[in-house]
A and B are shown apart, each in its own frame.
Chain A
Amino acid sequence: MTAYIIRRSLLMIPLLLGVTFLSFAIINLIPGSPVMRLRDNPKIKPEMAQMLEKELGLDKPWPIRYVGWLGDLLHGNLGSSMYNGVSVADRILAVLPNTLLLSLSALTLALVCAVPLGIYAAVRHRSWFDHVATVGAVAMYAMPTFWLAMLLVILFSLRFKEWGLPSLPVGGMTDPRGDGGLADRFVHLILPCVSLALIQIGSWSAYIRSSMLETLQQDYVRTARAKGLGQKTVLYVHTLRNAFLPLVTLVGLSLPDLFAGAVIIESIFAWNGIGRLTIEAVNRRDYTLIMGTTLMFAVLTLVANLIADVMYAILDPRIRLE
């Protein structure tokens, strides 16, 4: 297994090279540079701008700069922000835990809701519960994340406050007047986490349902029933484990969606994460910071895919690791 994981991780290297090369090209092929904006400023002398350009290394052609950037990366150095000189790695590490907290708690919530929903809908196939769950799944699938999030804020923050009910905060990660303790953080996490999770619950529960329905028709399930095993044993011992296999891949592949969804959710709820950092970086044309956040998104995606593959190999003994 260790050898498999190592081999599989090595496959990520060429992909990351491709990602960094492509994003470096996209960023640097546009006319203009962070310094060009300074040139429009009459207070800044052209010589100053030129000096700054040289200092940031922007006077060299971009492929050469890319090789330099890559060399620094191999030494674990992501460079420093072109906007204010702060280390890119420090900025990313400062907000990464927030994004991970948001997306992983949304992932957990979505799984905790979607799995029982899907199983129950499959077991009660064609019941009213099944129909409601199927309609709900479709309804959630087409839902714009940002609209859903805003509706939840309007209901649970604004209206609940008006009605004198306990209300949730509109945004932010902690209450500026509060103590910033665990309870305070938790209350601020609820709405962003629920908005992000709700979108996934629909498609995941529909997926689990169809996977369960398919597995329930397998011969070994019929055999288990025929030899007189109870419904619980058949369901939890014989069906679930097999029905879960495709879910592992689906969840691994949905993780990038979750990170992407977090970008919007972070912006709505003023959640200080990597998505907001990305938007800040592109708005300031902060090339080094943009490269850092893009690399981070790619690493998160590839690691998620890796985990899905490894989990699949663990759960399914038929997978040969050679």
Chain B
Amino acid sequence: MARATSTDVIRPVEPDDLAAPDAASGRLAPGGLLTAERGELRATPGFYRRSWRRFRRNQVAMAALVIFGLVALFVLVAPLISRWTGFGPYDNHLANKLAPPLTKGYMLGSDGNGRDILTRLAYGGRVSLMIAFLATISTLVLGGSIGLISGFFGGWVDTVLMRLVDVLLSIPGLPLLILIATLYNPGPAGLALVLAAVGWPGIARIIRGEVLSLRGREYIEAARVSGAAPARIVVRHLLPNVAPLIVVFASLAIPGLILAEASLSFLGIGVQVPTPSWGNMLGEAQRYFRTNTSNVIIPGAIIYVTSLTLYLIGSGLRDAFDPRLGD
């Protein structure tokens, strides 16, 4: 972080701060402290840089990042895969339906309409991942701003918003999603917004709690005394301090949203066929699970790998952001 924010004002000195220049390699150089005493002090690395350093040392999280990167790459090059397999994602070949993997030119087999599973997996991943990320961003914007407003302004605003949160949290999410998604029948982007509309109370409550505890701090007091407007205090002083919390929440929410979209599409409520999504591919395969087991295993496996790696990246970030866990 180029400019010091209030996050950086007071914090304990960590070994990294005093390490020799090769600390970038992740190891503390022998005699690092001595180097520093000799007056070769470097610029103090910011909060995010130090967190990234901690993250990189987490082998599980790094492995998850690489595997998720491969999944993302697979999805990004969907048109190339389509050209390579020779199938478009919507090409029906009814004569060749339900072909097992590696037969009739289908690498991973074909579905009930004779569409190529591999090609649809790549295109379906675009839809599934797009919905999950869009839903995450919308959840954060909605839940984050409501939490910030609720915590910062307090009073009746807080009371009204938090009662709304209580109400929303007393209906289990999935039945509510089923209700809204069926009645309003949204497209993929709309589905992301529906997921956010149901999912925001969790993050709103967390952010509110954090803001309540930050509100009484001296630097907020100082900003107010020096005449900063509420909007400026929220954006410049509160937001940077709750940002790590938001990032961690987001990365842990994405796998949940991937699974939510897949569940809805699996039930035939989310993304509608012929548009592929991992969930509706699995839902369709359910009809043929007695004969075509691989049609069930393949889309489920990629959903699982994606949600698992995203979850591991998320917990890696949480550990990296928590300085109490140390270096």
Contact = CB atoms under 8 A, between A and B. Distances in A.
Q: Bound pair: A and B?
A: yes
Interface string A138-182: 110111111100110110001000000000000000000000000
Interface centre among A147, A260, A268, A282 (most CB of B within 10 A): A147
Nearest to B183: A30
A105 interface: no
Nearest to B310: A142
Interface string B254-267: 01000100110011
B171 A142 contact: no
Interface string A265-276: 001100000010
A154 B183 contact: no
A233 to B, nearest CB: 33
A22 B175 contact: no
Interface residues of B, number: 42
Nearest to A302: B170
Interface stretch (A72-80, A241-249, A293-301, A307-315): A293-301
Interface string B162-201: 0110111011111110111011100000000000000000
A142 B255 contact: yes
B183 A144 contact: no
A260 B172 contact: yes
Contacts of B266: 146, 264
Contact of A143 (B167, B178, B304): B304
Given A263-B174, A278-B178, A279-B267, A18 B167 contact: yes
A147 B293 CA distance: 12
Given A150-B286, A153-B289, A260-B172, A144 B179 contact: no
Interface of A: 14-16, 18-19, 22-23, 26-27, 30, 138-139, 141-147, 150-151, 153-154, 158, 256-257, 259-261, 263-264, 267-268, 275, 278-279, 282-283, 285, 290, 293-294, 297-298, 301-302, 305
29 contacts: A18-B164, A19-B170, A19-B171, A26-B179, A27-B183, A30-B184, A142-B259, A142-B307, A142-B308, A142-B311, A143-B304, A144-B262, A144-B263, A144-B300, A145-B263, A146-B266, A147-B282, A150-B286, A154-B289, A158-B289, A158-B293, A256-B173, A261-B174, A278-B175, A279-B267, A283-B182, A293-B175, A294-B171, A294-B176
